[in-house]
Chain A
Amino acid sequence: MDVVSRTWTWLSTGSHWTGAEGVWHRLGQHLFLTVACLLISCAVALPVAVLLGHLGRGGALAVNISNAGRAVPTFAVLVLLLLSPLGTHGSWPTVIALVLFAIPPLLTNAYVGMREVDRGVVEAARGMGMTGRQIVARVELPLAFPFIVTGIRSAAVQVVATTTLAALPGGGGLGRIITAGFRLTDTAQVVAGALLVAVLALLVEGAFVLAQRGLDPLRRRRGRPDGMEYA
């Protein structure tokens, strides 16, 4: 196919990788936004989810926030934030949108993970005289670990995707290569940019899968206890 060879030519042209519009610079922006927003979202969502899960309150909130996150189009939120007074403040609209869409998977998975902990184990810990804080740190968190990591993984993939979309309203990141390709009607550049984005997303997902396998000996239930719920 002609497109394949032209895409390869685009990718193997050194000048496309350097400079302010180059792949390396865009990749740097993409990674910076992803990591920064993921850290902010974790700092916001995980303590709330762990506390709610420990107390057994706010289950409806945790589930509904996840559904709301699905129903609200990312693209719409990006554009709304851009047109809002925040729009004049550089990357802030993008950062806020990224954090907003990373919170639901983090919150829901961590909450479900905390609730899935065997009540008998928690009661036993309480019977041994552990305080609430000790139960969270030594019993509930270790047992909820796979769910929490799954939440972080979903959030990371979500953030990578949303960062790509942020290129439409003019944000940085690899998505800009795609949008610039469309503006120039350069299909090879569009496909090359899309390939880079897809590879990045898969690498992020893969890294988390490996981390999850490596770090956690308690993987229970086959399949993924994440946003794609079994009924």
Chain B
Amino acid sequence: MAANGNCLISNDWICGEYVRTRGQELTDAVLQHIGITVASVVLGLLVALPLALLARRWRSVAGPVLGLTTVLYTVPSLAMFSLLVPVFGLSAAVVVTGLVLYSLTILVRNILAGLAAVPEEAREAARGMGYGPVRLLFGVELPLALPALMAGLRIATVSTVSLTTVGAIIGYGGLGNLIYEGMRSYFKAQVLTASVLCVVLAVGADVLLLLIQRLLTPWTRTRRSAGRRAGRPAGTEAVAA
């Protein structure tokens, strides 16, 4: 306890004094991190949905869309951000655009898989009740595809939180900025605190999305427990349980 005030000088990994005196800096970094993540995931979803619908409608679109998003996913984050610098300059748009491109891979695939799993009977019933294509999509197909979509959204969000840190290379990395600065000045407490906060953000976002998913799709709960009893690999369902 006596070392409390000295931990900044002795450069300890865990330092309450750091958290106390740099609270504002940490808050700002967390807010920037959340801002970049939310913007990227929301934009990613807005782009992925029409892409998935186009890919489903026309087989000739599906191949290039899936191929291109896979290629984008392969490009390392540092290279991705660097390639976008000439387009947007040193701005947050570089990081957000890069993260949107990454999230597309997971989101498009999961939306497609979710839509493909909608039972044909449900579609037929809706058509028989006079549903047009738009109402069929938003009233029947998307709700039934929600479990797959949300699973993809959770993976995309967790990856995005983690990849945002790389944005530090151009100064828009949220908590990554603190890690980067801490690396340069050998400031252990700053690096560890920012890293831990990053993981907390990722796990928190994942749990939040899981809760939203449970609320939105109450009908899947019985099915999921039945699936588990059958001993199938739990796949994405077991995230951060």
Contacts and interface: CB of A to CB of B under 8 A. Distances in A.
Contacts of A178: 78-79, 82, 169
A51 interface: no
Interface stretch (A9-17, A125-133, A196-204): A196-204
Give the bracket for the number of chain B residues in contact with chain A: 35 or more
Given A67-B240, A70-B162, 15 more contacts: A63-B239, A67-B239, A72-B199, A74-B162, A75-B168, A79-B180, A83-B191, A178-B169, A191-B83, A193-B79, A197-B78, A197-B79, A198-B80, A229-B155, A230-B109
B79 A164 contact: yes
B79 A169 contact: no
B31 to A, nearest CB: 17
A72 B183 CA distance: 17
Given A71-B203, A194-B78, A223 B83 contact: no
A166 to B, nearest CB: 10
A174 to B, nearest CB: 9
Main secondary structure of the interface of B (DSSP, over half): helix
A73 interface: yes
Contacts of B161: 71, 73
Contacts of A198: 74-76, 79-80, 83
A201 B79 contact: yes
Contact of A165 (B77, B109, B170, B202): B77
A187 B85 contact: yes
B150 to A, nearest CB: 8
B155 A228 contact: yes
Contacts of B163: 73
A1 interface: yes
Contacts of A157: 74
Contact of B202 (A71, A164, A202): A71
A182 B151 CA distance: 37
Nearest to B240: A67
B233 A59 contact: yes
A207 B161 CA distance: 30
Contacts of B206: 67, 71
A191 B82 contact: yes
Interface in A135-192: 157, 160-161, 164-165, 167-169, 175, 178-179, 181-182, 187, 190-191
Contacts of A161: 76-78
A229 B78 contact: no
Nearest to A69: B162
A231 B82 contact: no
A195 B109 CA distance: 26
